[in-house]
Amino acid sequence: MHPIIATLIKRIGLGFVSLFFVSLIIFSSLNLLPGDFVEAVLGQSRTEETVATFRKELGLDKPFHIRYVKWLSAAVQGDLGSTFSGRNASYANQPQQSTARTVTGLLKPRLYNTFFLAAMTALIAVPLSLFLGITAALYRNTFYDRTVNASALATISMPEFFVAYILIICLASIYQIFPSLSNVTASTPFFERVYLSILPALTLTLVTVAHMMRMTRAAIINLLSSPYIEMAQLKGLSRSKVILEHALPNAWAPIANIIAFNLAYLIVGVVVVEVVFVYPGVGQLMVDSVIKRDIPVVQGCALVFALTYILLNLIADVISIITNPRLLYPK
């Protein structure tokens, strides 16, 4: 077997191990949170009896480890359980009439929205930052390089909501090109969806490009003092050939890592932007569920976030392995 495949299998295995530990942390830490869903829902009128019945119905009367095993084994099969909310106190006595939705059912459309926005942003931001990073490295210390760097720093220094509101003022209010609300629904047609999502996508592009572009530039410039770059120059190759053919192929590993990091951010860290544009993504759902103490939903969101992080980092790892001939072609 090619050693790369063994390495990949090992990485994937390690990914599962981390996912397991993350699930344990998610489950146990949410149990430590103050406040209790049952008491919050039943309110002032609760009696010990109704509390106990409701707890039993939600399965909260069982000990921690049993609940964890049950939750995890269901989660592995794609079932993240049912939401707490949607049931209310009156149903406590008649559990069969519960209208609680499944967490997966609740999560799916939200997740689709989040991935849609992330993908749209990535499609703009990744090529843009690679282009800017490479050209900045190529023309380093020129006016172009300084301008790109300074504007990237400016956008990264502003809070996202501020960037978002500026875009709204410019592109939705003064020039009414794009809508300021991105309230997409499951039935929104594709192109309208793209149109509605442009402002949040632009906001996210502005806040992520700086990071990716600067790291791309740094990764390339870092290699420019290597003897093989000098060798390439002394072969009479043009500057762009030296950068594109000799520096860039050796810079993919750090670049892939920083891109993965930013893509993960686009999925798990965009709640502020979702709130500004009223975009129905997972971030909002998670915040709402925390407020309502709807633990299964919070757990579901956290698990999806963890999975995204691990998967993206795995991909970055794979890229750094396959772009390294030392690993790809062993002695």
Partner 1 sequence: MSTNNTDSSILLEMKNVSIEGYSDESWHPIINQVDLSIRRGEVLGLIGESGAGKSTLGLAAMGFVRSGCRFTGGSVLFNGKDLTKMNEREKQKLWGTKFSYVAQSAAAAFNPAHRLINQTIEASVSHGIGKQDQLQREAIKLYREMQLPNPEEIGDRYPHQVSGGQLQRTMTAMAMTSKPDLIIFDEPTTALDVTTQVNVLATIRNIVKEHNTAAIYITHDLAVVAQMADRIQVLRYGDTIEESETNNMLKTPKEDYTKSLWAVRSIKKKEKKTTDSILSIENVDASYGSGPKVLQNVSINVPKGGTVAIVGESGSGKSTTARVITGLLPPQKGRIFFEGKKLEANLDERSKENLRRIQMIYQSPDTSMNPRHTVKDIVGRPLEFYHNMKGNEYSKRVIELLNLIELDESFIDRLPSELSGGQKQRICIARALAAEPELIICDEVTSALDQIVQEGILKLLLRLQSEFNISYIFITHDIATVKAISDEVVVMHNGYVVEQGMKSKIFSPPHPDYTKLLLSSVPEMDPKWLTKILSSQKSKY
Residue 238 CB, shortest distance to partner 1, in Å, is 7
Tokens 């790369």 locate to 4
CA distance 262 to 251: 17
Angstrom distance (rounded) from CA 260 to CA 314 = 9
CB of 248 to partner 1, least distance (A): 9
The Cα 120–Cα 219 span in angstroms is: 25
Q: How far is the CB of 178 from partner 1 (least distance, A)?
A: 42
Minimum Å gap between C-beta 18 and partner 1 is 25
State which residue, 245 or 288, has the beta carbon closest to partner 1: 245
Distance CA 11, CA 317 (A): 8
Cα-atom radius of gyration of the chain, to the nearest Å?
Answer: 25
Nearest approach in angstroms of CB 246 to partner 1 is: 5
Residues of this chain that bind partner 1 (CB under 8 A): 226-228, 230-238, 241, 245-246, 249-250, 323-326, 329, 331
Q: What does the CA dihedral 199, 272, 104, 101 come to, rounded to 10 degrees? A: -110
* Distance of alpha carbon 250 from alpha carbon 42, whole angstroms: 61
Q: For partner 1, which is the closer residue by CB, 216 or 250? A: 250
